[in-house]
A = this chain, B = another copy of it.
Amino acid sequence: MKNILVGQSGGPTAVINASLYGVIRAGMERQEQIGHIYGMVHGIEGFLQGRCMDLGKELSKEELELLKITPAAYLGSCRYMLPEDLSAPIYPTIFERLKALEIGCLFYIGGNDSMDTVSKLSRYGKSIGSEIRFIGIPKTVDNDLVETDHTPGYGSAAKYVAGTVREIVLDASVYHKESVTIVELMGRHAGWLTAASVLARKQEGDDPVLIYLPEAAFDMETFASDLKRALAKRSCVVVCVSEGIHDASGRFICEYGDQAQVDGFGHKMLTGCGKVLEHFVRERLGVKVRSVELNVSQRCSGMLMSATDLAEAEMAGRKGVAAALEGETGVMIAFRRAERGPYGTDYVTVDVDQICNREKVFPTEWIGGQGNDIGQGFIDYVQPLIAGEVVRPMADGVPVYLYRER
């Protein structure tokens, strides 16, 4: 199949490099079929600017093993959409570059938008009769890709959320005083990550007692009464919310603060919904309140990497190479969960056109309470995804990661 090319795109995750590792390792194991293993630096955008590296040559064996457990995106990433119009001049440019490097297959590791890139390139390729194959490897902490049981990156992010919220609950409960702690979690449209905070509970009815996802309309008055009810039962209440919660009209809660908040230069302050709710609670309930935004650590921390997630991410990369060698193109590797018996994953290929530009939201049947809780169905779904610990190399007291020379 000549040489292969692999790129990473979209936001970082704890295990996106494990998928890259899977592609590289599988490529190396098929030396009779695969020549060079090139990496795009900064995705398709960097590739267009000529940034490329020879992964098979430039990484030592030790570096390759370190790559596997290094979070973020080793090759660098981009957020770059190819034009809808396949007659745009950028397409022949890309294919000339691919031809110059004698590329037989391009692997693109990413989410929705990255699958759109795979779709366009494979459709253009077919239109000109090119034999180059294009394979998508799924990746997103948001877990919002359709046609797959879950996505690599989600398990580790969910585990980080569960473990960190458990610690925040411990922290929030040390004082005797009535208090509310609001934890804002990632998820603009889909509540998958926020839902994982349910795993922080040591038992049912425990903190976080209230969990709100974007999939259920959020109402400030209902929130106030939910809180009052919770505070009547316990003095310390922990609430988890998705950044993207919105009211029934579709207006984001984080926008509630916008009009009033301007910075020292008269510009609108962009504040998260956690801060907006914090101020609301202080005003309405008069209790001690704090908001915590977990921020980028949710997606880039390797501290609570899931061994299951790590293994599946690598396997997604390996299965991508296998699919390409079998002649597939325009497909993404997807996960199918064993329907009965112990947890297990089958790897299949799905037409990328079915995946790109679609979003898998959190199933409403898994939202419990009055839109403020998460049901057992989700717990059963997510539990295996966060299972297993990864031992990380440490030096001088800090985790050792692989860095690309810049």
Interface positions of A (Cβ within 8 A of B): 8, 11-12, 42, 45-46, 70-73, 76-79, 159, 162-164, 166-168, 170-176, 199-200, 202, 234, 256-257, 259-267, 269, 271, 275-276, 279-280, 282-283, 290, 292-293, 295-297, 299-304, 306, 383, 386-389, 394, 396-399, 401, 403, 406
Contact = CB atoms under 8 A, between A and B. Distances in A.
Contacts of A282: 267
B78 A176 contact: yes
Count this chain's copies in the assembly: 2
Contact of A279 (B202, B234, B264): B264
A269 B279 contact: yes
A299 B171 contact: yes
Given A199-B396, A259-B264, A398-B159, A292 B296 contact: yes
Contacts of A302: 167
Contacts of A170: 12, 70-72, 300, 401, 403
A163 B260 CA distance: 37
Contacts of A8: 174
A129 to B, nearest CB: 33
A267 B172 CA distance: 25
B293 A293 contact: yes
A323 B130 CA distance: 81
B397 A171 contact: no
Contacts of A72: 167, 170-171, 173-174
A296 B259 CA distance: 29
A396 B389 CA distance: 10
A283 B267 CA distance: 9
Given A72-B174, A167-B302, A297-B164, A397 B387 contact: yes
